[in-house]
Structure 1
């Protein structure tokens, strides 16, 4: 670039619109999209580590798609090429690919190709990109306002990681305005501007989540408002209203917003919410949607979701559609709203879906012959007997008679399921009673039912399966894990902290559930840390969990030092509470780490409610007095207030979290696990002065040495090499911060 080019570029930068001048240059300046580039998110870590793979950003205008690409251009060591799909063609792509090949071959340097409005590329242009993305010649970053699953080559989508950007919230838009008014270099920081609060709120409200529209309106307001005698520029509400008079509605009649909005409308009507239905109807009418399209969808809904619960629904909606055709807009809004409200408040039934079950049966089953009584008797009744045996319903009481109308192979099949709503509720009993009568007629009149009893030959594989150990600990732990996560399923971009990783049961599941987020895992000892680190080494660096070997206080210090802005949407733990030395402090620390709207999920085994070993044996060979002393010794040990492993129950958890101003939900579950009692395990049970204390150590204070010897002998004789049903109690806790 020569001196003239430099001056020309500087002039362009100075004269650029405010929205272009204020475009963030670093991630720290970037406003919003915390779910995508917030602290600890995958994309932020990838940008900071310069380890990007192909990406596609999609979302509404003004949410930061192009800005993120430029931030990447400012931070990456890779060569960056930017093209706009509206202006570029295959020739431009080929030139960029050739440049990328040259840099890769000569210097081993990567190339990032940013394609703005990537959905504007036709199929041929997108296909031209595919092989170079696939072989790594270029890393593609695409930006689009359209759903890439609909508008972008499926092969490109499958090779890219998708990030959906959301419209900015009011607080984020206020930050954008604040940046513009305080930045002396690119914004209005060197000019005395006073934006009145109600004017600011109007701009934020009408911008509708679009930062670009907001800055354009602010610029228009500032540049068209003359300063007062003191040189100050005051922007009142009236000026703000003139600067941004109509809310920008995101609505492409052939794109994502069209389908999403009509979907929200139909689901609101189906869900019998007239308020939401009118809101989404207003959104569509305001954006210019064709009312005839809306009415067509309502006519479909009248049959699909109301059906026989209100047989008049179709008549009302079609009448409203006819009325609309007669009067047009704007008065046509009345019958449009009437049809919406009628369906939203009507009783609901989807019993017409029985047709599609019948259709699936026709497609799946071999075509069955029409039963002889149902065949047309007008042509060949005399020769072939068609129609013989048909019972004419009008000749019977109530104009109905019990007979079968389905093919022989489908007799008893049910397709129509009357709902208990509206008019259809009156049909429910009648249909059920007539079906019962038809089935009775089928059984009484049949010449003999087919043999439905079958016997399979011996299955060696099945026998081997039955002979396996009864222990299903792995399966049951998986069920515990899934139940815990299902209490508050995380989103893909969430940050999760596993309080007690140990074997990684929760850690690896967390990684699967938050591919665009991040997982921290705390481990209690060096052995667990090394084992998890070895497993994590097989993963790409960006996708590994952050392992921390520390107690809870040390972990808090570690997080504060390494990621002071980090907070977690989910904090999970299995048997983490039982490890806490100071329980009140443990709950306080969790509160500090939790992001707004976050949830703590714990599953804890309550030792006090665990299996009593005395109940596993036949103690008839012992004296009743000894058995009673043994059982009492177990109860005393498990009820000990001095042992932190046993001196708590479910209500202890609930009380502590309530005191820390959490909203708490508790549930308990009795777990049955098959355990094989080896000789070594029994020896550990009865070890002396073991650490942690053995079973013998726990009951010893309440029994004599003679008693202990008799109990140990009995257990070893009856339980060694046996598989027993071990029962324990789990408590599941879901805690969220009280608003």
Structure 2
């Protein structure tokens, strides 16, 4: 019993694997690969404890290929070369399967070396990563691999896995029975972040620290579960996929005026302790998604952000919550974002031409001889402080970047400007 329980009861056939039915359900692609024995180079992408290593083991046994396991955090190219050399021996007579965990930790040069061996067929690669491979894997290697995304397990799947673990532990501990309430199993499952290995390890510690009654039953109490620290039930990495996914969901929820979702993703970000990112994103949202529909939003949000930065956690959560609720419930406009985006596209893609002479700087000796400001009309000398004259360069003089969104504030501003343009006096 030196190995953790999760390792001791690791499934040996595909049908015993819990969850991932979108990949290993009957008729699904990975199920077919496992059973037909024709294994391509693959990348398994997903959170820990969801079956990536287990399925690699099953594939190895099914194909009778020699399985080697390396972790990219400590492995080197020489380790791979040593494995390849075994392909010429009896050990590799049916082929070699290399399971490379955390491949995102291999640099480009190391991944290129790996590519050479996968291309000539000396090894079949199954790489696993918790990070999005599209961001971390060398493109040439990525194009030669099938990518399978593993999902966090749901509560029902984890409960099923825990019940199987209880059966195994009962035999190991020579116990008449292990008595644990269904709600306690649900509690462990809900607090395992979709990670079956974590849930099983918690269960093992809990059971080993529970008492036997006079009939030989191990009785698990809620108090014992509480004493075995379960920890956070959200996986959050400031520098990984979860960070960018959470930030994306945060902004989209506010943009979609869903205050409950906005607060939920704020809570995730707070749990990650990333105050600076939260503040920056709130300021962006105030202009990108609310903008001119409620111009005062950015002023209020800036005050909330300043308060949060001065307070620090845990009190910072209160002004941050205020900002999120305000932005969710504010009218929305992306006209400022769209306007500058279009203007930048013209700068980058067109010959926009020179600034018109009459609005160029004329406050220096010799400016008049160059035609600077000669025909400039000072708006304050005209009715309503407006006069019709050209401001854009000739090449793009009819360009339109700003289109008011359909909200009360922008309609009011638009109507005002149009009225003075049409009433020049």
For the residue of structure 2 that corresponds to 1:57, the secondary structure is strand
1:226 aligns with 2:211: yes
Q: Distance in 2 between matches of 1:324 and 1:200?
A: 38
Q: Which has the larger radius of gyration?
A: 1
> Equivalent residue for 1:408?
394
For the residue of structure 2 that corresponds to 1:222, the secondary structure is helix
1:162 aligns with 2:164: no
Q: Distance in 1 between matches of 2:140 and 2:159?
A: 39
Instruction: Give 1:435 shift.
Output: 7.5
> Equivalent residue for 1:258?
243
Q: Distance in 1 between matches of 2:186 and 2:177?
A: 20
> Equivalent residue for 1:20?
7
1:65 corresponds to which of 36, 52, 55: 52
Structure 1 residues 365 and 84, CA gap change in structure 2 (3 angstroms): closer
> Equivalent residue for 2:35?
48
Structure 1 residues 188 and 343, CA gap change in structure 2 (3 angstroms): farther
Q: Distance in 2 between matches of 1:436 and 1:368?
A: 29
> Equivalent residue for 2:327?
343
* 1:176-210: CA deviation from partner (whole Å, max 9, x where unpaired): 01211224797668641111122112111111211
For the residue of structure 1 that corresponds to 2:211, the secondary structure is coil
Q: Distance in 1 between matches of 2:77 and 2:170?
A: 39
> Equivalent residue for 2:373?
387
For the residue of structure 2 that corresponds to 1:417, the secondary structure is coil
Residue pair 1:208, 1:249 contacting (<8 A) in 2 also: yes
1:274 aligns with 2:274: no
> Equivalent residue for 2:179?
194
> Equivalent residue for 1:153?
138
Instruction: Give 1:60 shift.
Output: 0.9
Structure 1 residues 285 and 76, CA gap change in structure 2 (3 angstroms): same
Residue pair 1:225, 1:233 contacting (<8 A) in 2 also: yes
Instruction: Give 1:378 shift.
Output: 3.3
Structure 1 residues 88 and 430, CA gap change in structure 2 (3 angstroms): same
Residue pair 1:60, 1:167 contacting (<8 A) in 2 also: yes
Instruction: Give 1:245 shift.
Output: 3.3
Q: Distance in 1 between matches of 2:423 and 2:39?
A: 68
Structure number with the bigger relative contact order (C-alpha 8 A, sep ≥ 6) is 2
1:399 aligns with 2:385: yes
Structure 1 residues 365 and 432, CA gap change in structure 2 (3 angstroms): farther
TM-score, normalised with respect to structure 2: 0.92
Instruction: Give 1:422 shift.
Output: 4.4
Structure 1 residues 40 and 326, CA gap change in structure 2 (3 angstroms): same
> Equivalent residue for 1:651?
none
1:427 aligns with 2:417: no
1:331 corresponds to which of 286, 309, 315: 315
Instruction: Give 1:417 shift.
Output: 1.1
Residue pair 1:285, 1:291 contacting (<8 A) in 2 also: yes
Q: Distance in 1 between matches of 2:357 and 2:297?
A: 38
Structure 1 residues 247 and 208, CA gap change in structure 2 (3 angstroms): same
* 1:86-129: CA deviation from partner (whole Å, max 9, x where unpaired): 3322221110112225569x95x332111122223333332221
Residue pair 2:170, 2:178 contacting (<8 A) in 1 also: no
State the number of aligned residues.
Answer: 422
> Equivalent residue for 1:520?
none
Instruction: Give 1:15 shift.
Output: 2.7
Q: Distance in 1 between matches of 2:406 and 2:391?
A: 25
Q: Which has the higher strand share?
A: 1
Q: Distance in 1 between matches of 2:52 and 2:172?
A: 21
2:61 corresponds to which of 74, 82, 88: 74
For the residue of structure 2 that corresponds to 1:254, the secondary structure is coil
Residue pair 1:420, 1:428 contacting (<8 A) in 2 also: no
Instruction: Give 1:329 shift.
Output: 2.1
Structure 2 unpaired stretches of 5+: none
1:175 corresponds to which of 151, 160, 169: 160
Higher deviation after alignment, 372-381 or 317-326: 372-381
1:83 aligns with 2:51: no
* 1:409-432: CA deviation from partner (whole Å, max 9, x where unpaired): 222210011112242231233455
Q: Map 1:668-707 onto structure 2 (within 5 A).
A: none
Q: Map 1:452-491 onto structure 2 (within 5 A).
A: none
Residue pair 1:309, 1:425 contacting (<8 A) in 2 also: no
Residue pair 2:210, 2:221 contacting (<8 A) in 1 also: no
Higher deviation after alignment, 273-282 or 90-99: 90-99
Q: Distance in 2 between matches of 1:253 and 1:362?
A: 35
Structure 1 unpaired stretches of 5+: 1-13, 439-739
Q: CA RMSD in A?
A: 2.3
For the residue of structure 2 that corresponds to 1:39, the secondary structure is coil
2:284 corresponds to which of 281, 295, 300: 300
Residue pair 2:346, 2:352 contacting (<8 A) in 1 also: no
> Equivalent residue for 1:130?
115
Residue pair 1:402, 1:434 contacting (<8 A) in 2 also: no
Structure 1 residues 257 and 435, CA gap change in structure 2 (3 angstroms): farther
Instruction: Give 1:173 shift.
Output: 0.9
Structure 1 residues 171 and 81, CA gap change in structure 2 (3 angstroms): same
> Equivalent residue for 1:634?
none
Q: Distance in 2 between matches of 1:150 and 1:236?
A: 45
> Equivalent residue for 2:22?
35
Instruction: Give 1:145 shift.
Output: 1.3
Q: Distance in 2 between matches of 1:223 and 1:331?
A: 39
Residue pair 2:368, 2:374 contacting (<8 A) in 1 also: no
Q: Map 1:494-509 onto structure 2 (within 5 A).
A: none
Q: Distance in 2 between matches of 1:434 and 1:102?
A: 88
* 1:342-396: CA deviation from partner (whole Å, max 9, x where unpaired): 2222211111121121111122222412223323333445424332332221122
Residue pair 1:207, 1:248 contacting (<8 A) in 2 also: yes
Higher deviation after alignment, 316-325 or 176-185: 176-185
Residue pair 2:202, 2:230 contacting (<8 A) in 1 also: no
Structure 1 residues 68 and 88, CA gap change in structure 2 (3 angstroms): same
> Equivalent residue for 2:199?
214
